[in-house]
A and B are shown apart, each in its own frame.
Chain A
Amino acid sequence: MATATVAHHETEVHDHHDHEHHDSFITKYIFSTDHKMIAKQFLITGIFWAIIGGLLSTLFRLQLGFPEMNLEFLRPLLGGWIDEAGKLDPTFYLALVTMHGTIMVFFVLTAGLSGTFSNFLIPLQIGARDMASGFMNMLSYWFFFLSSVIMFISLFIKTGPAGGGWVVYPPLSALEQAIPGSGLGMTLWLISMTFFIVSSLLGGINYITTVINLRTKGMSFSRLPLTIWAFFLTAVIGLLSFPVLFAAALLLVFDRSFGTSFYLADIYVAGEALPNTGGSPVLFQHLFWFLGHPEVYIVLLPALGITSEVIATNSRKPIFGYKAMVISLLGITVLSFIVWAHHMFVSGMNPFLGSIFMFLTLIIAVPSAVKVFNYLTTLWRGNLIFTPAMLFSIALVSFFISGGLTGIFLGNSAIDIQLHDTYFVVAHFHLVMGSASFFGMMAGIYHWFPKMFGRMMDAKLGYIHFWLTFVGVYLVFFPMHYIGIAGFPRRYYSWTNFEFSNTYTDLNMFVSVAAILTFAAQAIFLFNFFYSMYRGRKATPNPWNSNTLEWTTPIHPGHGNWPGEIPTVYRWPYDYSKPGAAQDFIPQTVPLSQTPESNLPHEQELVKVELEIMKDEAEVLVANESKH
């Protein structure tokens, strides 16, 4: 009884509190410290960047699929980058590829994915009022915004944006005279990425602190939803790897702007020797890939976490092997730091060292296979509900398998030396990292849209969007494996000079057409997203009959998430279709003592402990109330 009264009081207090502090447009929508608003800011910025990144890829796919085509019609968009003959400028082609990679890896799939869902779901799913530091969280978004603005400006400067590939290997990226893209564009790239690193670190520190310190009562680590485990470990990886990228970039800045020789040695440009001596370009590759490889998992783990949640909910079954899932996430986290040199098999490495990195790389197949197995066994004989989010999650598992298999090929140094820097690699990582993470992000948006905006996205449009994208992605990236095996190197402007490429002209054309259609299909999603935000069907509090805490908040949660007391957690989040239970789901907030019909023997034991704790708590509340 006491609990109920107190909770009621607080509802009033809190509502009042909300009105007092959130009437200004600026504090609510712009400089917000509310994790939900910051998540939406990250999401909208991420969508903006995804459109830009996708658009850039259609531009260079036109060049690759139709090398003879007259691109005069693009002049209004690209201006001087289309030359008199109607051809795309080759240096701008390099810039397009570079920016596509940078934007997609960092701005869309790191900030757009982690930034959105870690921010949105961590406090809601662990039962916290907000992040540990709302101010730092706000800073994190605004540093990202600043970094976005700088990167965006770099698209429009005279010498073009950075053009040395998203990995920015020196000496190409270090010498202004190498290509136009290594001039101002590269400088802006480095400045932008510095702010991006600051943003990621601020965000990551917040996520880790929040998960460790602000869990609600009863939310032990063994009761955390797998989403939170994934976000938590993603933040740990980011915290350990982004500083190393910072160190690498710092030395590159010194080489570019101050004339040091960390990465430069014995270089001749246009017949003249540069003064730099004693540098080592491979050093940059080591430092870069020490971030670069964990970055793959920074991109992928959140998607895997979202998938775990969506698949369990929509299979109406507990996730298969919760502990195995957590252990494999931990395994991937640890392994991600000790495999970086598999990107450098052809950079001149001791072959013995190469074998060690090959061995460690292949071990990653084990936790990955465990995860795939658990997804499939969760789906097995479930009461599958094919919501759009569920379809995107299942497709993620599909991409994770088909892209992961080629990872086993590429992890072997003997095969990698043959396939290195061909389209086989491009196909591999676009499936396993690009598409899988993108589909995880889509699953997350479709699944948590009702919580974000209080309305449902249209399911029919969702299905159309899903099928076009799913089929489209395979049509783009499956043929790419063949192109790669045939020996097409990546980052080439054109292959028409090579005799062997003639046989594959139509295949490249096919890939380009598929890519452009898949990109166009995303318009359906954009329409659905923005239309549903204002006109969508109103959501119910728990539209997917899910167990996790975010669905116990009001449909439009205010700043502070729960109007009254933060709910206490009594069970893990995967009690779906428990034998004996009245419904096919039991939310985490339902005490074991209320469900004697479905409790397992060991849970029946816990009921006693639980009742005692609840008794103590009621006493605390009564004592607390009488104080005032």
Chain B
Amino acid sequence: MEKELKYIDIVDQPISMHPKKFALWLFLVTVVMIFAALTSAYIVRQAEGNWLEYELPEIFWLTSALVIISSIAMQWAYYSAKKDNFLSLRIGMIFALLFGIAFLVGQWYSWVALVDRQVFFVGNPAGSFLYVFTGLHAVHLISGVIFLIIVLISTFRMEVHAKALDTLEMATTYWHFLGGLWLYLFLFLQMNH
């Protein structure tokens, strides 16, 4: 009887999208708005002058490559799950995670490189902004890593397969988004430097 009730509910609702996936997209909107605010603040502040000029750390090229590879691995894991190929699903996710963590380590070394160039968090906003961009992005990426670990564990419990893809799809979306967000920030910094 319980099932019947649910069935009727589903018939009644003109569902256009999985509610949780939709909620994830709305969450992504809020993250976009935070970074839109920060990057436009950067432009407004830069236009006022008194702006410290310095070279961006070269390691950003490497971390950008890492984040792209990580996204590709994640996509491969997703396709594998669609085909119920569990081994490559797990391998793909583990690779995505490892490259994600490597990215975080690389971002840390970008801070080391900044300090070497005498660009500190406390000082001219030109440098402070870079720390805020990378730091806030890293915080989001850590949340993505946690999300991925949770989904990875559920793949070992056989809770992710071709007919139960929702959480994996959400993790993939979030992971690609975070990668894309970094590429946007990097491109933005390249163009407004």
Q: Give residues in A with beta carbon < 8 Å to B.
A: 6, 9-10, 13-14, 17, 127-129, 132-133, 136, 201, 204-206, 208-210, 212-217, 219, 239-244, 246-248, 250-251, 254, 258-262, 265, 277-280, 283, 286-287, 290, 565-566, 568, 617, 620-621, 624-625, 628
A283 is contacted by which of B33, B44, B124, B126 (Cβ under 8 Å)?
B44
Contact B31 A278 (CB under 8 A): no
Contact A215 B122 (CB under 8 A): no
CB distance from A157 to the nearest CB of B (A): 27
Residue of B30, B51, B136 ringed by the most chain A CB atoms within 10 A: B30
A residues in contact with B132, CB < 8 Å: 250-251, 254
Query: Known: A205-B26, A209-B22, A259-B122. Is A244-B34 also a contact (CB below 8 A)?
Result: yes
Q: Give residues in B with beta carbon < 8 Å to A.
A: 1-2, 4-5, 7-9, 11-17, 19-20, 22-23, 26-27, 29-31, 33-34, 36-38, 41, 44-45, 48, 50-52, 121-126, 128-129, 132, 136
Contact B41 A209 (CB under 8 A): no
A residues in contact with B14, CB < 8 Å: 215, 217, 219
B residues in contact with A617, CB < 8 Å: 11
Contact B37 A136 (CB under 8 A): no
Query: Known: A215-B13, A217-B13, A244-B34. Is A260-B121 also a contact (CB below 8 A)?
Result: yes
A-B pairs with beta carbons under 8 Å apart, 9 shown = A13-B2, A205-B26, A210-B19, A217-B12, A254-B132, A258-B122, A261-B123, A278-B51, A566-B12
CB distance from B177 to the nearest CB of A (A): 15
Contact B30 A262 (CB under 8 A): no
Q: Please measure, in the bound complex, the distance between the C-alpha atom of A260 and the C-alpha atom of B121, giving whole angstroms.
A: 7
Q: Please measure, in the bound complex, the distance between the C-alpha atom of A617 and the C-alpha atom of B11, giving whole angstroms.
A: 9
Contact A209 B125 (CB under 8 A): no
B residues in contact with A133, CB < 8 Å: 19-20, 23
Q: Please measure, in the bound complex, the distance between the C-alpha atom of A250 and the C-alpha atom of B129, giving whole angstroms.
A: 12
Contact A13 B1 (CB under 8 A): yes
Contact B2 A261 (CB under 8 A): no
Contact B124 A6 (CB under 8 A): no
Report whether over half of chain B's contact residues are helix, strand or loop; otherwise say mixed.
helix
Q: Please measure, in the bound complex, the distance between the C-alpha atom of A487 and the C-alpha atom of B105, giving whole angstroms.
A: 59
Query: Known: A213-B17, A239-B29. Is A628-B23 also a contact (CB below 8 A)?
Result: no
Q: Please give me the residue from chain A that is nearest to B2 by CB atom.
A: A13
A residues in contact with B9, CB < 8 Å: 129, 566
Contact B125 A213 (CB under 8 A): no
Q: Please measure, in the bound complex, the distance between the C-alpha atom of A127 and the C-alpha atom of B13, giving whole angstroms.
A: 9
Contact B125 A278 (CB under 8 A): yes
Report whether over half of chain A's contact residues are helix, strand or loop; otherwise say mixed.
helix
Q: Please measure, in the bound complex, the distance between the C-alpha atom of A57 and the C-alpha atom of B28, giving whole angstroms.
A: 39
A residues in contact with B13, CB < 8 Å: 128, 213-217
CB distance from B10 to the nearest CB of A (A): 11
B residues in contact with A621, CB < 8 Å: 8
CB distance from A241 to the nearest CB of B (A): 8
Contact A214 B8 (CB under 8 A): no
Q: Please give me the residue from chain A that is nearest to B31 by CB atom.
A: A243
Contact B44 A13 (CB under 8 A): no
Sorted nearest first, the 3 A-B pairs with minimum C-beta distance are: A243-B33, A247-B37, A132-B19
Q: Please measure, in the bound complex, the distance between the C-alpha atom of A290 and the C-alpha atom of B22, giving whole angstroms.
A: 25
CB distance from B120 to the nearest CB of A (A): 9
CB distance from B104 to the nearest CB of A (A): 20
Query: Known: A212-B16, A260-B128, A568-B12. Is A290-B30 also a contact (CB below 8 A)?
Result: no
Contact B12 A565 (CB under 8 A): yes
Contact B128 A283 (CB under 8 A): no
Q: Please measure, in the bound complex, the distance between the C-alpha atom of A205 and the C-alpha atom of B21, giving whole angstroms.
A: 11
A residues in contact with B124, CB < 8 Å: 261, 277-278
Q: Please give me the residue from chain B that is nearest to A244 by CB atom.
A: B37
CB distance from B53 to the nearest CB of A (A): 13
Q: Please give me the residue from chain B that is nearest to A201 by CB atom.
A: B30
Contact B1 A628 (CB under 8 A): yes
CB distance from B165 to the nearest CB of A (A): 18
Q: Please give me the residue from chain B that is nearest to A617 by CB atom.
A: B11
A residues in contact with B26, CB < 8 Å: 204-205, 208-209, 239
Q: Please give me the residue from chain B that is nearest to A198 by CB atom.
A: B30
Contact B30 A239 (CB under 8 A): yes
A residues in contact with B20, CB < 8 Å: 132-133
Contact A251 B41 (CB under 8 A): yes
Q: Please measure, in the bound complex, the distance between the C-alpha atom of A262 and the C-alpha atom of B123, giving whole angstroms.
A: 9
Q: Please measure, in the bound complex, the distance between the C-alpha atom of A14 and the C-alpha atom of B5, giving whole angstroms.
A: 9
Q: Please measure, in the bound complex, the distance between the C-alpha atom of A565 and the C-alpha atom of B9, giving whole angstroms.
A: 8
Q: Please measure, in the bound complex, the distance between the C-alpha atom of A161 and the C-alpha atom of B124, giving whole angstroms.
A: 31
Query: Known: A132-B20, A213-B19. Is A628-B8 also a contact (CB below 8 A)?
Result: no
CB distance from A252 to the nearest CB of B (A): 12
Contact B122 A260 (CB under 8 A): yes
B8 is contacted by which of A6, A262, A277, A290 (Cβ under 8 Å)?
A6
Query: Known: A277-B124, A568-B12. Is A283-B41 also a contact (CB below 8 A)?
Result: yes
CB distance from A537 to the nearest CB of B (A): 34
Residue of A6, A212, A568, A625 ringed by the most chain B CB atoms within 10 A: A212
Q: Please measure, in the bound complex, the distance between the C-alpha atom of A625 and the C-alpha atom of B8, giving whole angstroms.
A: 10
Residue of B2, B8, B15 ringed by the most chain A CB atoms within 10 A: B8
B residues in contact with A136, CB < 8 Å: 23
Contact A10 B5 (CB under 8 A): yes
Contact A248 B37 (CB under 8 A): yes
B22 is contacted by which of A129, A212, A219 (Cβ under 8 Å)?
A212
Q: Please give me the residue from chain B that is nearest to A291 by CB atom.
A: B37
B residues in contact with A259, CB < 8 Å: 122
